[in-house]
Amino acid sequence: MLVSFLQLTASGLAVGMIYALMAVGLVLLVRAVGTMNFAQGDLLTLGAFVAYWLSVQLGLSLAGTVIGAILIFAIFGVLFMLTVFWPVRKSSWPQAITICTIGASTIIKNSMTLIWGSRALNIPPILPGSVQICGVYLEKQYFVIIGVAALIIWGVFLLFDKLYCGRIMQAAAQDKYAATIMGIPTFITIAVTFMIVMCIVGIGGYLVAPLFVVSTSLSRLQLRAFAGVVIGGFGNLKGAVIGSIAVGLIESYSSYVTTTYKDAVVFLLLLMVLVLKPSGLFGNRISDKA
Amino acid sequence: MKKQLSKVLALTLTAGLALSGCADSKKTETTAAPAGSAAPETPAVESQAGNSTYNNDGTIKIGGAYQLSGTNVFQGDIVKEGAMLAMKEINEKGGVLGRQLELVEEDAGETTQDTVTATTKLLERGDITAILGCLSSSYNIAVSEVIKEYQVPLFAMGSSANVWKENNDFMWQIRVTDNYSAKVMTKAAVENLGMKKPGLFYCTNSFGQGIADGVKTSLKEDYNIDPAGEVTFAVGETNYSALLTQLLASGCDGIIAVSDGDESSLIMKQVYSMRVDLPCIGSAAYGTIMNMENAGLDAAAGWYTVSDWSAELEMARSQAFIESWNMEYPDKPPLQQNLYSYDAVYLLAEAIEQAGSADPAAVKEALKGVKNYEGAMSVYTPDTNRSFATTQLLCINKEDGSVGIVESLKFR
Amino acid sequence: MKKFKIGGSLILLVLALFLPQILTNYHLLVLNNTIIYFISALGICMLLGMCGQMSFSAVSFMGLAGFLTAQFSKTYHIHTLLAGVLAIVVTGLVANLIGKALMRLEGSYFTFASIGIVSIFSTLFLNWKWLCSSADGISGVPKLNLFFMTVKDRNQWYYVLLVAAICCGLFVERIRRTHLGRAAASVRDNAIVASTLGVDVYKTKVICFTIASTLAAVSGVMLVYHNSYAVESMFTYDMSVSFTLMVMLGGVNSTLGTLLGSFLMTLLPEALRSFQQYLRLLYGIGIILLMIFMPMGLAGVVESLTAKWRKHLKLKGKGRNNE
């Protein structure tokens, strides 16, 4: 019993951290841009494919892959912003940005299939092999994921809560007009936000790829990240992280109850949380103004 | 406003009814092939009617209605690669009846409605001799009515028993159907691997459920065994450690796993990393080199599989296929699914030669008469359910990535 | 202006009646599919355009009604028309229950919950044997029997679908002019003010959701009878996305706009067929371009053009008066 519990907890935690990385990206984008990014899962997949390209096809070492990946992600982040968000930011219909991200999702997905073919690919894990704890064999990659993801998330908190540039970005996100008056260059802050988000999500893809396969089906993970964001309270970074980890663990533990209807269980729980506490676990009950 | 509404409605209804009446009769007059009447067993008469369209000096057109883009493009590509290789080989040797083969493709899209649209578009051309269908059975079942209407044979690449249950004379299955594969798997699990309390681990799509149901029935009827545990998962599932933990908790003494592509590699990976030391038998995807590589050759080693083909198969055509494939597609290994369309094209070529005509009705009759045709994957003779393959293999994965054949089973 | 609109639509109607004579089987099939999707898109138009809620669960209710009608008519041998009506009613009730739960959520929360619904129903369509018979679905569903005729062939389907689409379109237009329509519009524009004015926001949203889902149910029943087949892969999440796009393309608050949008969205992939594997890529690029240049959809473009034209005329007229 303990064995299975440990196994479930470890895998749930690892997967939950990946969801958390995506969720953090989502929250940052919501703050900066105002809408949800439906292409988040595809950005994760892109991260996995880029990592595949660098580490397997080009044969770079770990350091080379990481540095190359971050560079590529940063450039892609800006590209993404310029093509998907910037032209529609002043649109007369606010949902237009959401629809643009849906379009972007299709484009990214199909480009990856056209470039790398449709067969599933494989990346070797950063730390191959598994380690035995209390009679359970846990993959070392789990610990790599949990460690690196935790580091990244701590870095994001640090940036936005403690550092000056983070506070500038928050200001620009909260009220663009006021920020411009104060002399904050909104274009740069939004561009930097996109770059950071892309790097976070891309690295998440690189981390998760050895656990799964490198294929466009990885984008399915975004739904769980959305669930995490919503459970944690919209727009709340801490809540998003905790919510995502919770979703990962619930997903794991739900196999005690049913394996066929696993998706259904996760979403029913999500619905229950929302019905009972509509603003999410950590959401602030900011009353709307008319 | 209300008066205008009712006036408009009344006008539309009456006009619509009147026109549908006349249109219906008009359409049935103009279409040459009567849709509802029984297909006459005199191909000579019909081939005369469509003689010039099908039997001129131009290319013989084989239609391809599979996914060219979208979520399932992987399946479509598999059918495409095999078919194109076969056509290239046949055309290099002079073609069929002195004419070259041509592949006419339409994207079958995401949903079954799109597949029906693609197939209708192909059939409407009026010069397609036969169609190669999708890998997935539900997409084959969806086009059943259309091919019956146009009376053009379709090679279904799916293996579900529901395909032949359509009782459509024009639908042919290249593979051994799931009800047989399930029996083979059960027999191997119990007799070869000695499982007494097997654990079933399968995907909830049509393939997984079809085989799993067959396995359960076979276990009960032939060996009076009930599975110790049964764990299911959806397509695209990524987190198997939780599910495997559940399966192992049931105390099973062996794993019978049924799933497609990506899931297989993940399951083999997970079973290995959890150091599970039980005999394992899987469906065909577990012995496919691509999935074995994705899982890691160490993880895949030791798994038994029930496959349609293995690279070790000592048939001349099979070895020739591997050589030809490696020249055409040097950067990817052949999968057994590529052979479905490869052999289907060869079977069609054979049928066209036998019929002496590219007329669909004649080809369909000729397909019925195929006997012991040696393909690259199997020896083909159609049974009463219009399914062609006669053999399946019980294989075992080896550490070096090869798939050794334990036993070859012949069905007829 | 109104006379022009009605006259124009009547002409279009008469033209529409003669289409099957000139179209091939393939074109007719595409047209039939377009009309079926249009009915579902009408529901989204109501929910998004009239009431301001973005939902992606239309496809689940299409599927539920489709599977129910297949089961009722094939397994239980209920008369096909009755089976269809029964399926629509049951789906409407289920949608009402789900709506009551979901409508407690605001904006984006509701959208994600609707995506979750799609996920749940998708699993049900593959696994709940009572509903779906097998993972390959239910094939050989009996043809729709409308008492005076059995709808077997594409031509007949075209007319039946035309009548159904016109009825649904007029129904939605009618709702726009009722108290419910105005209440929904006020909820869309400013829910807080609406509630101060006595509009029951929650109830309005639930009713809109139920009606939208019932329209989707009608569409699903038609789809299943049209194809004589009901399987999970007929009701994918991508379809819901394309319904939303149809509505946005055509003009989010316009019935005729939704019709135009449906045509565009269904005809676009067909027109792009020659691009084969680049189809979806171009489709995605097309979506972004459309959002950049036509966010209010075609109806929005038409409206702004006519407004400019009217202004131009007015100015011209004024000029003359001043002389």
pLDDT of residue B143: 93
Q: Count of CB contacts below 8 A, A vs B?
A: 93
Residue A99 is nearest to which of C281, C283, C291, comparing CB atoms?
Answer: C291
C273, B106 contact by CB (below 8 A): yes
pLDDT of residue C241: 86
Give the chains touching C; criterion: ≥3 Cβ pairs < 8 Å: A, B
Confidence of residue B277 (pLDDT cuts 50, 70, 90): confident
Instruction: Provide mean pLDDT across the span A56-76.
Output: 88
Our count of domains for chain C comes to 1
| pLDDT of res. A270 | 76
Q: What is the CATH number of the domain that holds C173?
A: 1.10.3470
> Which of B33-42, C213-222, C241-250 has the weakest average pLDDT?
B33-42
- Asked if the C-beta of B237 comes within 8 angstroms of chain C's C-beta atoms, the answer is no
Q: For residue range B194-221, list pLDDT tens digits in order.
A: 888 999 999 988 889 889 999 999 999 9
Do residues B279 and B254 make contact, with C-beta atoms less than 8 angstroms apart?
yes
Contact call for B239 and A259, based on CB within 8 A: no
The residue with tokens 């739960």 is C101
Over residues B127-145, the mean pLDDT reads 92
Predicted confidence (pLDDT) per residue in B255-275, tens digit: 999 998 788 988 998 888 888
Q: What are the φ and ψ backbone dihedral angles of C52, each rounded to 5 degrees?
A: 80, 20
Can you tell me whether residue C323 is helix, strand or coil? coil
Q: Which residues pair with B403 in a beta bridge?
A: B397
Which residue in the block uniquely carries the two structure tokens 């359970």?
A136
A4: closest CA of chain B, how far (Å): 6
* Nearest CB partner across the interface for A91, out of C119, C193, C295: C295
Q: Which chain C residue shows the shortest CA-CA distance from B235?
A: C123
pLDDT tens by residue, B82-105:
999 999 999 999 888 889 999 999
Cβ contact, residue pair B117, C270, below 8 Å = yes
Surface of B (127-146) touching C: CB under 8 A: 136-139, 141-142, 144-145
Q: What is the dihedral of CA A191, A194, A196, A199, to 10 degrees?
A: -130
| C-alpha distance from C149 to closest chain B C-alpha (Å) | 9
pLDDT attached to residue A92:
65
ipTM for the predicted complex comes to 0.88
pLDDT of residue C219: 96
Interface contact C292-A87, CB threshold 8 A:
yes
What is the number of CB-based contacts under 8 A between chain B and chain C? 145
pLDDT band at B37 (very low <50, low <70, confident <90, very high): very low
**Is residue C8 a part of any domain in this protein?**
no
Residue C291 has pLDDT above 90, yes or no: no
Average pLDDT, chain A: 83
Question: What are the chain A neighbours of C123 within 8 Å (beta carbons)?
Answer: 260-261, 263-264
Instruction: Please report, for residues A167, B278, C55, C224, the alpha-carbon distance to residue C235 in angstroms, rounded to integers and kept in the order given.
Output: 45, 39, 15, 11
Q: Is C9 contained in some domain?
A: no
Distance CA B93, CA A91 (A): 61
Mean pLDDT of B347-355: 92
Apex CA C248: angle with CA A216 and CA C154, to 5°? 80
CA distance C315 to chain B (A): 33
Chain A environment of B245 (Cβ under 8 Å)? 3-4, 7-8, 255
Q: What is the mean pLDDT of residues B108-115?
A: 90
- Are A255 and B243 inside 8 Å of each other by CB? yes
Residue B250 is predicted with a pLDDT of 85
Helix (H) or strand (E) holding C233: none
User: Is it the case that residue B38 has pLDDT exceeding 50?
Assistant: no
Where residue A260 falls among pLDDT bands split at 50, 70, 90?
A: confident
pLDDT of C310 reads 86
The answer to whether the Cβ–Cβ distance between B145 and C228 falls below 8 Å is yes
Residue scoring higher pLDDT (A263 or A285): A263
Banded pLDDT at B8 (limits 50, 70, 90)? low
User: Nearest 10 degrees: CA dihedral of B160, B163, B169, B171?
Assistant: -80
Residues of A in contact with B291 (CB under 8 A): 120
Query: Is B237 part of the contact surface with chain A (CB cutoff 8 Å)?
Result: yes
- For chain A, what is the HEC assignment? CHHHHHHHHHHHHHHHHHHHHHHHHHHHHHHHHCCCCCCHHHHHHHHHHHHHHHHHHCCCCHHHHHHHHHHHHHHHHHHHHHHHHHHHCCCCCCCHHHHHHHHHHHHHHHHHHHHHCCCCECCCCCCCCEEEECCEEEEHHHHHHHHHHHHHHHHHHHHHHHCHHHHHHHHHHHCHHHHHHCCCCHHHHHHHHHHHHHHHHHHHHHHHCCCCCECHHHHHHHHHHHHHHHHHCCCCHHHHHHHHHHHHHHHHHHHHCCCCCHHHHHHHHHHHHHHHCCCCCCCCCCCCCC
C129 domain residue, yes or no:
yes
Instruction: Please tell me if residue A106 touches chain B, with a CB cutoff of 8 Å.
Output: no
Q: Look at B18-32, C94-108, C238-252, C307-321 and tell me which has the smallest mean pLDDT.
A: B18-32
User: Min CA distance, A253 vs chain C (Å)?
Assistant: 18
Confidence tier at A288 by pLDDT (50, 70, 90):
very low
Q: Confirm or reject contact between B157 and chain C (CB < 8 A).
A: no
Cβ distance C120 to A267 less than 8 Å, yes or no, reads yes
> Does A1 have pLDDT greater than 70?
no
Find the mean pLDDT for residues C34-61.
92
In angstroms, what is the C-alpha Rg of chain B?
24
**Tokens encoding C205:** 């949203």
Per-residue pLDDT tens for C198-223? Answer: 888 899 999 999 999 999 999 999 99
Nearest beta carbon to residue C287 from set A35, A99, A267:
A99
Helical (H) or strand (E) element with C81: helix C80-102
The 3-state secondary structure of C53-80, one letter per residue: CCCCCHHHHHHHHHHHHHHHHHHCCCCH
Average of per-residue pLDDT values in chain B:
83
Phi/psi at B247 (5° precision): -65, -45
Question: Looking at residue A150, what is its pLDDT?
Answer: 93
Maximum average pLDDT range among A141-145, A277-281, B118-122, C301-305: B118-122
A212 at B interface, C-beta within 8 A: yes
Contact (CB, 8 A) for A240 and A232: yes
Neighbour tally for B308: CB within 10 Å: 23
Cβ atoms C250, C42 nearer than 8 A: no
Identify which has the larger pLDDT, B38 or B93. B93
| Assigned token pair, A285 | 């009950």
The C-alpha of C54 sits at a distance from chain A's nearest C-alpha, in angstroms, of: 9
The pLDDT of A57-80, averaged and rounded, is 89
Q: Phi and psi at residue A168, in whole multiples of 5°?
A: -60, -45
Phi, psi dihedral angles at A38 (to 5 degrees): -75, -5
Contact B127, B99 (CB under 8 A): no
Name every chain C residue with its beta carbon within 8 A of the beta carbon of A110. Answer: 277-278, 280-281, 284
CATH architecture of B179-307+394-410: 3-Layer(aba) Sandwich (3.40)
Is B294–A120 a contact, with Cβ atoms under 8 angstroms apart?
yes
3-state secondary structure chain B: CHHHHHHHHHHHHHHHHHHHHHHHHHHHHHCCCCCCCCCCCCHHHHHHHCHHHHCCCCCEEEEEEECCCCCCHHHHHHHHHHHHHHHHHHHHCCCECCECEEEEEEECCCCHHHHHHHHHHHHHCCCEEEEECCCCHHHHHHCHHHHHHHCCCEEECCCCHHHHCCCCCCEEECCCCHHHHHHHHHHHHHHHCCCCCEEEEEECCHHHHHHHHHHHHHHHHHHCCCCCEEEEECCCCCCHHHHHHHHHHCCCCEEEEECCHHHHHHHHHHHHHCCCCCCEEECHHHHCHHHHHHHCHHHHCCCEEEECCCCCCCCHHHHHHHHHHHHHCCCCCCCHHHHHHHHHHHHHHHHHHHHCCCCHHHHHHHHHCCCCEECCCCEECCCCCCECECEEEEEEECCCCCEEEEEEEECC
Q: Is residue C314 in a domain?
A: no
Could you tell me if residue C319 is inside a domain?
no
CA-only gyration radius of chain C, Å: 21
Model confidence at B20, pLDDT cuts 50, 70, 90, reads very low
Cβ within 8 Å of residue C199, ≥6 positions away: C183, C186, C187
pLDDT at site B18: 47
Instruction: Indicate the fold that domain B50-176+315-381 takes in CATH.
Output: Rossmann fold (3.40.50)
Is there a domain that residue C321 lies in?
A: no
Q: Which residue would you say has higher pLDDT here, B141 or A267?
A: B141
Please compute the mean of the pLDDT values over residues B233-257 and round it to a whole number: 84
Residues in chain A: 290
Model confidence at C34, pLDDT cuts 50, 70, 90, reads: very high
Task: Decide if C6 is inside a domain.
Answer: no
Q: State the residue range of the domain holding C81.
A: 16-282
Share of chain C above pLDDT 70, in %: 96
Interface test with A, best of C54, C292, C296 (most A CBs within 10 A): C292
Distance from CA of A158 to the nearest CA of B (A): 31
**pLDDT at residue B11 in the model:** 52
Residues of A in contact with C115 (CB under 8 A): 223, 226
Residue B225: per-residue pLDDT: 87
Stretch(es) of chain B classified as CATH 3.40.50.2300? 50-176+315-381, 179-307+394-410
- Tokens 């841009």 locate to A33
In the prediction, which pLDDT does A287 show?
47
Cβ <8 Å between A278 and C252: no
Nearest CA to CA, how far is B218 from chain A (Å)? 22
